[in-house]
Amino acid sequence: MTTPSTHVVLVPGFWLGGWAWDDVVGPLRDAGLVPHPVTLPGLGPDDTAAERAAVSRADSVRAVVGLLEGLEGRVVLVGHSGGGALVGEVVDRVPDRVARAVYLDAGPLVDGAALSPALPDGATEIPLPGWDELAAQGSSIDGIDDDGLARFREQAQPQPGRVATEPVRVSNPARFDVPVTAICTSISAEQLRAVAGPGAPFHTEVLDHDVTWVDLPTGHWAMFSRPTDLSTALVEAARA
């Protein structure tokens, strides 16, 4: 009798494609899991500025929902950074297809929240900022070596603006039935629990879920700075 597969769907944050999980997918496979690193619409290396401008938030949600609906077996859905809000929306749409949601330095947002303010007039995308600017925004690059930073900048794509600025839409109460693992990297679980809520600055509903908290101290991009330890945490979440 064949054991049903456990799929781990890996949704990256802004500027990243499926390549961001390259150092994570091998350990997941070695643990008997089936990883699916996602490149969201508009974030492929050959996508044009016009294609990025046309991508809506709903398009990104549909892309991940479509992937999940094509999988047979148990699904663990992982979202990093801005991908976490997207994961929250996917869980809202198909809660019966998600065994566990994992938020990596991220969390599910409340209905109506947006990840970014409106873009300047005429802008349709968000280029990857400089490292100092990212750090000032709370996205630390701690733990990433120079080669990793060079690869990050070389492969990053401009973020489709509509995905960043259009509001999150969630309404299905069944989303709260899906257990959550929160992997805290930029701040500790204790610190996050103290400030996480539906109001500013996080606009998150993570505390409304059944949450397993995991501390993994590093910068914002643990898949680059601590991929082995992140892989271990994801395996543990998938087996929970």
Q: Which amino acid is at 160?
A: P
Q: What is the pLDDT of residue 37?
A: 98
Q: Which phi and psi (to 5°) does residue 102 adopt?
A: -115, 125
- The mean per-residue pLDDT over the stretch 189-200 comes to 94
Q: What is the pLDDT of residue 166?
A: 98
Q: What residue segments make up the domains of the chain, in order of their start?
A: 6-239
Of all residues in the chain, what percent carry a pLDDT higher than 70?
A: 99
Q: What is the pLDDT of residue 2?
A: 47
Query: In 124-221, at which residue ranges do the beta strands (DSSP E only) sit?
Result: 125-126, 159-160, 180-184, 211-215
Structure tokens, 64 = 């991940």
The answer to whether 100 and 121 have CB atoms below 8 angstroms apart is no
Q: Three-class SS of residue 80?
A: strand
Q: What is the pLDDT of residue 1?
A: 44
Tokens 């709260």 found at: 176
Q: What is the pLDDT of residue 4?
A: 75
pLDDT tens across 135-182, in order?
A: 998 899 999 999 999 999 999 999 999 999 999 999 999 999 999 999
Peptide bond into 167 cis (omega under 30): no
How many other C-beta atoms are found inside a 10 Å radius of the C-beta of residue 117? 8
Looking at the predicted structure, is the pLDDT value of residue 3 above 80? Answer: no
Looking at the predicted structure, is the pLDDT value of residue 94 above 90? Answer: yes
pLDDT tens across 98-147, in order?
A: 999 999 999 999 999 999 999 999 999 999 999 999 999 889 999 999 99
**Level-2 CATH architecture, domain 6-239:** 3-Layer(aba) Sandwich (3.40)
Q: Three-class SS of residue 181?
A: strand
